[in-house]
Structure 1
Amino acid sequence: MNIKSLLLGSAAALIAVSGKTWTGQETELGTLKTYTETRFNFGNNNRYATNIADDPATPLVDETAFDSNPAGMKSVSLNFAWIQLGGLRVGKDESAFNTFIGYAGNVIQDTLVPYGGFDTNVIQYYFDAGNGFSAVLSLEEGSGVVGTIDSYVPHVVGGLKYTQGWGAITGVIAYDSNYEEVAGKVRLDVTPMQNLSLFIIGGYGTDDNLSDPTWAIPAGGRGFYKQWGGNWAVWGGGTYTINEKTSFNVQLSYDEDKNFGAAANIAYDVVPGFTVTAEVDYINVGDSDWTDARDDDAIGGMLRFQRSF
């Protein structure tokens, strides 16, 4: 179970609790596993506050006062619920487009420039060929209005990985069956020294149908897999282990639409199972229409207390 307390800037706080279950059983066909994870969130954010007129008979309101400040970001979600037998996994998971290639660094806000969809039902097979080679094939349902499949044809994700002591090279490719578009990512991980790990990810996706305003559900150029702006994007960063309790993590990201994100944190293990992470995040919005409602630049901070057991 993880218990996290998050403080974002001075305007919002979030308490998150996740409950996890694991089972494992050896069978003649391999290890039979199950995994579930449910997350309970409680937040408080005065951006959701309302201002009610003093006199119900008149629309006049006191713009300097707030009559209520309800807690935002309250939710319960089932993030994982899958069964696995050997290399076959079936159920609720995150897309192999992200899990197989790896997430974009050890920062909290790693999606300032997004790199793909997460929640989905899967029928997936993972194959370890030995000698550092592995592969995955995943049939996926997607999620959301744009991402959920609209026919009997699933999204398809395939990936290959080569891992050695120096690091790894990984590639994934995804076919979006809703918009008949393809997206791919290639990742390089290196460990130049014992306490330093670095990574870089390059992504490219086609978007003719995703950008077509006459499509049945216009996607604005971003689908379930190609969620970055424009055709290409890049993410890079690393982790430097300062000592046995402290690590420094950084991530930079940029896409063709000139969206730029930077995140950096210091994570400190107070005692085993209790980690405090202080992070600073920055985003500069480029040419993407999806961010027109935001300021061009934004900076924020986050302090996370995490108990894991």
Structure 2
Amino acid sequence: MNVSSLLLGSVAALISVSVARAADEDSAPGPIEYVKVCDVYGSGYFHIPDTETCVRIGGYIRYDVGLSDVRSYDGIRTSDVRTGEAQGTWRNNTRFTFKTWTRQETELGALKTYTETRVNFGNHNAYPGPESPHKYSFNSGVKLTSAWIQLGGLRVGKDESAFDTFTGYAGNVLNNVLVPYGDFDTNVAQYYFDADNGFSALVSLEQGSGVVGTIDSHVPHVVFGVKQTQGWGAITGVIARDSDYEALAGKLRVDVNVTDDLSLFGMFGYGSIGNLNDDPTNAVAAHGRGFYKIWSGNWAFWAGATYTLNEKTSFNLQVSGDQLRNSGLAANVAYMVVPGFTVTAEVDYAHYGNFGVGTLDRSGVNWTHLGKKNSLGGILRFQSSF
């Protein structure tokens, strides 16, 4: 091969490469806009494109099956479709919960939002009691659990009552309301103060919910709370004024971190009956008319423990009682099968005193008079969170 042939071949090769590159450039897609991680607010957040807002999406799918004789986890009373004979059946429920969080820094502080929506399918007793059961499974509709906006310490929107969220729920058991400790659904306008030294405080103006819980004038329900948190645990107190019945209710809670694996809590509640009736033995008055003191009698207590057996397994316990000799005991073992999927098995025992106990019929009228009755039940829960 001579020199001229070599040069001509080289030029031809260069031209071929240039043409190929040009063709590739003409057919290449535009720049790809990748999702930007926003880890300043924790894992799972990402930037909404072309904004300064970070968003996180999550939720869970849950399946519960329960069995009991009287109201422990809403035990189902039904009747045989052929003979009409009264009998029990399984309590089944499937829930899908969808959650969103957003965060954005502004000159007035962090702007936050949170939403939680639940959809359920299953069977449950219709109040006032087993006389009118829903023995069949059905879609119980969509429930808006939370939808609030918070700027700095100011929060407005739909949330659970600060009477319960500020103190924390009554333990890590599934059925933690064998003795009820407060109502939940409400619109709120509240301000939260955090001193960054373990001290925090909150004031919440609330609308309430249900016939006997929603405010009946322009005067809202009011909740005030203070908390001191340290490495050993926390002390929390809340007091609430029900504007409908001009009644006061309060709770004091102590949390103790005994070890890295063992934590304990104790909570005591006291409430006045208000203008309805001052006699704590009156069956109608004592059963919590109003939005906050929904336990029986003036006082009630809840105590419990969580013990982490290993990185996958924990044991949870709760005991509770009130002035009218209603009491409950719940214990479970929660096992994380794989990250994001947990199975929990729980046993519940309840003793109902002279006037029975349960959730007040939110039509505002009826209570089931059970007399003295013992109830033993169980729950098996499968939950996958994302």
TM range (shorter): 0.7 to 0.9
1:299 corresponds in structure 2 to 376
Which of 201, 211, 216 in structure 1 is aligned with 2:277? 211
- Is 1:33 matched up with 2:120? no
Cα drift, residue 45 of structure 1:
5.5
Structure that is richer in helix per residue: 2
Aligned mates of 2:137, 2:106 — CA distance in 1: 47
Aligned mates of 2:102, 2:312 — CA distance in 1: 30
Structure that is richer in strand per residue: 1
Secondary structure at the aligned position of 1:98 is classed as: helix
1:288 corresponds in structure 2 to 355
**Structure 1 residues 213-292: aligned runs within 5 Å:** 221-222=287-288, 223-288=290-355, 290-292=367-369
Which of 2, 15, 32 in structure 1 is aligned with 2:94? 15
Cα contact 2:353–2:372 (8 A) shared by 1: no
- Is 1:184 matched up with 2:233? no
Cα drift, residue 293 of structure 1:
3.8
TM-score, normalised with respect to structure 2: 0.71
Which of 62, 66, 86 in structure 2 is aligned with 1:4? 62
Aligned mates of 2:352, 2:109 — CA distance in 1: 48
Cα drift, residue 131 of structure 1:
1.5
Q: CA RMSD in A?
A: 2.0
1:54 corresponds in structure 2 to none
1:60 corresponds in structure 2 to none
Cα contact 1:155–1:174 (8 A) shared by 2: yes
1:53-104 per-residue CA deviation (whole Å, 9 max, x = no partner) reads: xxxxxxxxxxxxxxx9631572320010100111111000000000001110
Cα drift, residue 209 of structure 1:
2.1
Which of 75, 78, 92 in structure 1 is aligned with 2:141? 75
Aligned mates of 2:124, 2:267 — CA distance in 1: 34
- Is 1:170 matched up with 2:243? no
1:231-280 per-residue CA deviation (whole Å, 9 max, x = no partner) reads: 01110001000000000001000000100011110000111110100011
Aligned mates of 1:220, 1:178 — CA distance in 2: 16
2:54 corresponds in structure 1 to none
Gaps of 5+ in 2: 1-58, 68-88, 128-133, 357-366
* 1:277/1:240 CA distance change after superposition, 3 Å: same
Secondary structure at the aligned position of 1:193 is classed as: coil
Aligned mates of 2:185, 2:243 — CA distance in 1: 16
Secondary structure at the aligned position of 2:211 is classed as: helix
Cα drift, residue 299 of structure 1:
1.0
Which of 194, 210, 221 in structure 2 is aligned with 1:155? 221
* 1:128/1:45 CA distance change after superposition, 3 Å: closer
* 1:41/1:294 CA distance change after superposition, 3 Å: farther
1:61 corresponds in structure 2 to none
Secondary structure at the aligned position of 1:298 is classed as: strand
Give 1:26's aligned amino acid.
E
Aligned mates of 2:209, 2:275 — CA distance in 1: 18
Cα contact 2:273–2:286 (8 A) shared by 1: no
- Between the two proteins, the alignment pairs up a number of residues equal to 286
Aligned mates of 2:141, 2:353 — CA distance in 1: 31
Give 1:254's aligned amino acid.
G
Aligned mates of 2:384, 2:371 — CA distance in 1: 33
Secondary structure at the aligned position of 1:71 is classed as: strand
Range with greater deviation from structure 2 (69-78 or 22-31): 69-78
Percent identity between the two aligned chains: 63
Cα contact 2:232–2:256 (8 A) shared by 1: yes
TM-score, normalised with respect to structure 1: 0.88
Cα drift, residue 221 of structure 1:
4.0
Cα contact 1:95–1:120 (8 A) shared by 2: yes
Give 1:145's aligned amino acid.
V
Secondary structure at the aligned position of 1:145 is classed as: coil
* 1:44/1:192 CA distance change after superposition, 3 Å: same
Gaps of 5+ in 1: 49-67
Aligned mates of 1:95, 1:14 — CA distance in 2: 25
Secondary structure at the aligned position of 2:163 is classed as: helix
1:116-141 per-residue CA deviation (whole Å, 9 max, x = no partner) reads: 11000000111001221000000000
